Amino acid sequence: MKKRNNILKLTDLIFVLITVASFTGVLIPAGKFTPKLMGAPYTAWMGVVFCFAYILLAYIASKYQKEGPDDN
Percent of all residues in the chain with a pLDDT value above 70, rounded to a whole number: 72
25 lies in a domain? no
Q: Assess whether pLDDT exceeds 80 at residue 71.
A: no
pLDDT band at 69 (very low <50, low <70, confident <90, very high): low
For 32, which DSSP code? -
28 lies in a domain? no
2 lies in a domain? yes
Instruction: Please report which residue ranges of 1-72 form alpha helices under DSSP H.
Output: 2-21, 42-64
Three-class secondary structure of residue 72 per DSSP: coil
- 23-48 pLDDT, tens per residue? 777 666 666 656 676 777 777 788 88
Structural domains counted in the chain: 1
Which domain covers residue 48, as residue numbers?
A: 1-17+40-65
